Structure 1
Amino acid sequence: MQVFRPRIAIAGGGPSGLALGLLLSRRDIPTTIYDLRRPPTPQLLAKPSGMLDLHQESGLKTIRECGLWESFQAALGDCSEATRVLNKDGDVLYTDEGELAYRPEIPRNSLTNMLVQSLPQDTIKWNKKITAAHSARSATTGATEVTLHFGSNETATFDFVVGADGAWSRVRKLLSEVKPLYSGVYNLTVTLRNASTKYPHLAELNGSGSLIALGDRNGIMTHRGPQDSIRVYGAITTPDEKWPITAGLHRKSAAELKDALLGNNDLFGGWAPPLQHLLATACDEQTRDNPIPPDTDSHDPDLLQPLYMLPVGYRWQHRTGVTLVGDAAHLMTPFAGEGVNLALWDALDLSRVLSGFSEAKDAAEWQEMLDPRVREFEEAMQRRAAEKAEETARNKDMLLSENGAQALADTFNMFRDMKAAGASPEGH
């Protein structure tokens, strides 16, 4: 008798989608991953990117189960776990060398490359933008079929679809009409390379790991990265969801944004000169490394972006044949470092669900067996995501308060005291 093999699709090739595809392939369960981007080139993957600190119970556990521990270790080293906290006047309020917890930092591009290179060939279908998804019960088989729609009237139908397609997930629309909410924060992302040789004073200011400077409800947060880089994030609190347009900053280069950010005392105009110099230099280097192409006025779309989040405690009604993972399921701001860790945790748990029962004779029986396990997966994921979302919201409010630097330094010192007393500090 022919063995039934379910048709499984993963919408989105971020960390959760790629990890899920790899974990299933290691269990001999084929999947198809659809991603709207072009295949990443070696040149793109070599560029500095955001650093991700992976946690023992989630990200690191998933890396081990993916069989990537040695590759992961080889990709470390660009950013230490050291942390410095400064106030807006440049006073150092707290330092550590990463002794409070083991949360190694890996470049996002390196993590992506590890996962992509480990997947079976042709698993990922690049340049496939999902424009819509719908589900319907087959009159012939009695099974639920989920159809993904792409451009040019192209479609593909599956027995199970995982929405790993990020903040503005198309797959999420099958489960609820809830949309992400503006968090009240804008984020600027700029990078300077070759810091130790070109700007040794900035490399010394930053240190080998991360620097967090906070005050007046704004922040400059950095980390070291590939190519001897310093990645600089500017967190700006504003109730205006369309702030760049309102402020006349829409479609500006980083070098042009620099003057607006440093010339306004409500932003970074009153900050210590070394911190201003760090931000200004990163803005200039960002523009120098990414010149505007000829015959176009386009700029890097990722420089100044609003941060969105799903409502804390977001849940959906279970539906046969579809579920969500990662940002599609629990989008939150980055102020607890939990996003990618939860995404990888989701992938690990869902891979066990999809491989955790005996073979079925057809799609309808397979879905009937799968449904209660997916419900349990969703409930567990939603509970832990709600806890991390609450933590993230508290962190955002603390960090971007009037005296965020002192509040963060006090928190880290509390964790240090707990560790010295033999306790295991949560949330660091």
Structure 2
Amino acid sequence: MPFRPRIAIVGGGPSGLALGLLLQQRGMHLTIYELRSKPTPEELAKPSGMLDLHKESGLRAMSECGLWDGLQAAFGDCSEACRVLDPQATVLHTDDGEHSTRPEVARNALTKLLLENILGDFIKWNHKVTAVQRARNATTNAIEIMLDLGANGTETYDFVVGADGAWSRVRKLLTDVTPFYSGAQFITATLRNASSKYPHLVALSGSGTLSALGGGNGILTHRGPQDSIRVYAAVSTSHEHWAEAVGLGGKTAAQAKIVLLGDDKLFGKWAPSLQDLLATACDEDTKDNPGSPADIAPMYMLPIGHRWETRMGATLVGDAAHLMTPWAGEGVNIALWDSLDLAHTLGGMPEAENAAKWQEALEPRLRGFEEGMLTRAKEKAEETAKNKDMLLSENGGQAMADMFRQVFERIAACSAAAN
């Protein structure tokens, strides 16, 4: 009987779930560990962040998962239309998404689609990996990775994939590098049933995305499930613990709006329509989540171009491998690309008689996978950092509008040349 490697994936986000599905489809046995509880249908129906999927990465991975039709059905809550404003609500750019090839899908909808297609009891919910250890088995000469699961005991594997995000524990097996603060914070609030309750805000935000940028800050929106408008207030600050410093620790979104709108260095001098959008979202979010603290998150990243030496027994995908800020919309896309490439690597392994032989054959293939992933991630991280500096600049809205103008001019020139 051929050897079957014991494989674990730590983390049940999009990259971990996609990798699990792809490996399952290739007949491989695996276990996914996720610290959260299994989401209920009601939780998966709630508004969540929107993800724009790219042709060469996210869309290709979902297609190879066999989920293309299901993905098409999940599109539609947020169009590809785009509006760009300055802080005084002057419209600097608008389009209907006619040149876009990056459809938007809710993170919850993507998660639901992946979960519906993973067969059997492969996912261990409420399992937190507290430590990861690497050792060589003196009897078999194979590398073994032991996962400490706290109250759930320990488990040992021949290969472990860290899909466990920014503060990955698996990463510690490969490198001492840790994320650092990027200089920006996001405050997130959501208002539902927007068309019936706040048609004037629907008219402002449009059917897709809105980006109001300037003075180093921004108000950004996505349309989403339940006729929602998800609002992000982006704040530039060198203070990693800004929320506590300005007294927002533990405060609700409705309380947070007082600080956001009362400070002229934040949104105190912004147009009344944009202030109304932010204030209404904060109030509605607090009504939906009474007593809950505002969703305020410092944005972290890993050093651009960081690498590690391939070490048998473990690798990383997604944010665990190359955490970056969201300013190019690449995070989930290259995470899915990672999972697709790793599935090809593991699924293409020849049969082996034991774990040591399997690992010996895997090592050069794993090195090639990591080289390709990290080279790609460096390029995307550089783009993301450049976009952050541009969009969170003094005249970020105009910079974004100019970027779109240049893109549209290139498209027009290519079209003219083709004709």
- Which TM-score tier does this pair reach, normalised by the shorter chain? over 0.9
2:123 counterpart of 1:124? yes
Counterpart of 2:274? 275
Counterpart of 1:104? 103
Residues 278-289 of structure 1 mapped to structure 2, 5 A cutoff: 278-289=277-288
- In the alignment, the residues of structure 2 paired with residue 113 and residue 148 of structure 1 have an alpha-carbon distance, to the nearest angstrom, of 27
Residues 322-401 of structure 1 mapped to structure 2, 5 A cutoff: 322-401=314-393
- In the alignment, the residues of structure 2 paired with residue 314 and residue 128 of structure 1 have an alpha-carbon distance, to the nearest angstrom, of 29
- Deviating above 3 A after TM superposition, structure 1's stretches of 4 or more consecutive aligned residues are none
TM-score, structure 1 as length reference: 0.96
Residues 196-275 of structure 1 mapped to structure 2, 5 A cutoff: 196-275=195-274
Counterpart of 1:320? 312
Q: Secondary structure of the equivalent of 2:359?
A: helix
Q: For the Cα contact (< 8 Å) 2:190–2:231, is it kept in 1?
A: yes
Shift of 1:300: 4.0
Q: Secondary structure of the equivalent of 1:127?
A: coil
Q: Secondary structure of the equivalent of 1:223?
A: strand
- In the alignment, the residues of structure 1 paired with residue 380 and residue 181 of structure 2 have an alpha-carbon distance, to the nearest angstrom, of 18
2:87 counterpart of 1:88? yes
Q: 1:300 to 1:67 in 2, by over 3 A?
A: farther
- In the alignment, the residues of structure 1 paired with residue 14 and residue 293 of structure 2 have an alpha-carbon distance, to the nearest angstrom, of 23
Shift of 1:101: 2.4
Counterpart of 1:42? 41
Residues 206-263 of structure 1: per-residue CA shift (max 9 Å, x gap): 0000000001000000010000000000000000011111111111100000010000
Shift of 1:153: 6.6
- In the alignment, the residues of structure 1 paired with residue 228 and residue 152 of structure 2 have an alpha-carbon distance, to the nearest angstrom, of 43
TM-score, structure 2 as length reference: 0.98
- The percent identity for this pair of structures is 63
Counterpart of 1:146? 145
Shift of 1:100: 2.3
- In the alignment, the residues of structure 1 paired with residue 72 and residue 151 of structure 2 have an alpha-carbon distance, to the nearest angstrom, of 43
Say which is worse superposed, 335-344 or 93-102, in terms of deviation.
Answer: 93-102
Q: For the Cα contact (< 8 Å) 2:216–2:236, is it kept in 1?
A: yes
Q: Secondary structure of the equivalent of 1:417?
A: helix
- In the alignment, the residues of structure 2 paired with residue 50 and residue 316 of structure 1 have an alpha-carbon distance, to the nearest angstrom, of 31
Q: Secondary structure of the equivalent of 2:414?
A: coil
Residues 258-279 of structure 1: per-residue CA shift (max 9 Å, x gap): 0100000000000000000000
Q: For the Cα contact (< 8 Å) 2:127–2:152, is it kept in 1?
A: no
Shift of 1:422: 1.2
Q: For the Cα contact (< 8 Å) 2:302–2:324, is it kept in 1?
A: yes
Counterpart of 1:356, as a letter, is: G
- In the alignment, the residues of structure 2 paired with residue 87 and residue 286 of structure 1 have an alpha-carbon distance, to the nearest angstrom, of 25
Counterpart of 2:403? 411
Q: Structure 2: any 5+ residue segments left out of the alignment?
A: none
Q: For the Cα contact (< 8 Å) 2:254–2:283, is it kept in 1?
A: yes
Q: For the Cα contact (< 8 Å) 1:143–1:364, is it kept in 2?
A: yes
Q: Secondary structure of the equivalent of 2:406?
A: helix
- In the alignment, the residues of structure 2 paired with residue 133 and residue 361 of structure 1 have an alpha-carbon distance, to the nearest angstrom, of 26
Residues 4-29 of structure 1: per-residue CA shift (max 9 Å, x gap): 10000000000100000000111111
Residues 50-89 of structure 1 mapped to structure 2, 5 A cutoff: 50-89=49-88
Q: Secondary structure of the equivalent of 1:152?
A: helix
Q: Secondary structure of the equivalent of 1:90?
A: coil
Q: Secondary structure of the equivalent of 1:395?
A: helix
Q: What is the Cα-based RMSD across aligned positions, in Å? A: 0.8
2:297 counterpart of 1:305? yes
Q: For the Cα contact (< 8 Å) 1:100–1:415, is it kept in 2?
A: no
Residues 128-168 of structure 1: per-residue CA shift (max 9 Å, x gap): 01101011000010000001111127111000000000000
